[in-house]
């Protein structure tokens, strides 16, 4: 692995993260950086390179974009029909991106801030590399949550270099996170700091957004591999051996009933920056288990 937590610090979650992108027609493909008066502040952020300037899309822009999306989405739809003729449902091409209902039209339909920060607040200190429009080609960013802090890491594809630690924040400076379902594959999350500034991030997977929210709220508890029984460790080893080599480290969660859920994110072949979740539930000896009431 290209980054390790400190001694006596538990790794709770590591997941791809970048600034989100607007999904509603008027803000599709756009993102803004705002203060509480909705002023654009990207030129005020220290050390940030110049980035694109967006404007709300006109009706003509929206029609052209919908046409383009029809081609992109239409190919998998046709392929799904072909794949399902005479066979079971499902497709190697994946489903079209999903969206929920707007929770905050002022921030998701009429505007799309990915940073909401008054002067001097913590959201203004997040790394500029989270912006896909600013970072170099082949550079990716991860969010890491540990028992002590939240970090943003930067990595370069095709190398074995150590990850860059771009920023880190003590846990007590993080107020929480909220999954924002009106987004591509429902994988956006709003990360809020204790000073009430926030950033909106795309995590690549709805489970990742939900799990980050649960971990910061304390509603689920992760466990280190050392707490597993020998049977559970053997089952975990077999499970990981069947996954692709680019799978992320497993996340182990002890549910309310005591059974252990193992979740592993794997980059999707169907879409860039999207991840699939592979998971199993284990009983005390590593046997397959079923969730009990209140577990999920």
CATH of the domain at 32: 2.30.29.30
Rounded-to-integer distance, Cα 200 and Cα 32, Å: 10
What's CA 88's distance to the chain center, in Å?
A: 30
Rounded-to-integer distance, Cα 78 and Cα 94, Å: 12
pLDDT one-digit tens code per residue, 247-270 = 988 999 998 889 999 999 898 887
Tell whether 228 and 244 lie within a shared domain. yes
Q: How many domains does the chain have?
A: 2
Tell whether 170 and 249 lie within a shared domain. no
pLDDT one-digit tens code per residue, 208-217 = 999 999 999 9
pLDDT of residue 68: 45
Whole-structure pTM over 0.85, yes or no? no
Tell whether 230 and 197 lie within a shared domain. no
Rounded-to-integer distance, Cα 296 and Cα 294, Å: 6
Tell whether 118 and 183 lie within a shared domain. yes
Tell whether 209 and 240 lie within a shared domain. no
For the residues 105-126, what does the mean pLDDT come to? 98
Tokens of 203: 């995590």
Tell whether 202 and 234 lie within a shared domain. no
Rounded-to-integer distance, Cα 260 and Cα 288, Å: 10
């Amino acid at each position: 692995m290209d980054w390790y937590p400190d001694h006596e610090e538990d790794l709770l979650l590591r997941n791809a993260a970048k600034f989100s992108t607007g999904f509603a027609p008027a803000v599709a493909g756009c993102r803004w950086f705002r203060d509480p008066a909705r002023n654009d502040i990207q030129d005020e952020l220290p050390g940030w390179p110049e980035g694109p300037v967006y404007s709300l899309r006109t009706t003509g822009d929206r029609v052209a974009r919908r046409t383009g999306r029809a081609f992109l989405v239409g190919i998998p739809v046709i392929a799904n029909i072909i794949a399902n003729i005479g066979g079971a449902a499902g497709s190697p091409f994946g489903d079209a991106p999903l969206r929920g209902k707007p929770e905050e039209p002022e921030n998701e339909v009429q505007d799309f801030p990915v940073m909401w920060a008054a002067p001097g607040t913590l959201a203004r200190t997040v790394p500029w590399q989270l912006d896909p429009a600013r970072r170099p080609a082949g550079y990716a960013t991860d969010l890491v949550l540990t028992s002590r802090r939240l970090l943003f890491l930067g990595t370069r594809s095709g190398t074995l270099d150590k990850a860059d630690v771009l920023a880190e924040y003590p846990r007590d400076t993080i107020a929480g996170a909220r999954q924002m379902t009106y987004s591509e594959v429902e994988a956006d999350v709003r990360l809020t700091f204790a000073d009430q500034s926030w950033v909106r991030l795309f995590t690549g997977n709805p489970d990742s957004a939900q799990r980050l929210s649960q971990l910061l709220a304390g509603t689920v508890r992760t466990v280190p591999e050392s707490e597993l029984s020998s049977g559970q460790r053997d089952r975990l080893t077999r499970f990981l051996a069947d996954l692709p080599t680019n799978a992320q480290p497993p996340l182990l969660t002890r549910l309310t009933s005591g059974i252990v859920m193992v979740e592993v994110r794997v980059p999707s072949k169907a879409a860039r920056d999207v991840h699939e979740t592979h998971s199993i539930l284990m009983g005390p000896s590593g046997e397959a288990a079923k969730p009990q009431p209140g577990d999920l």
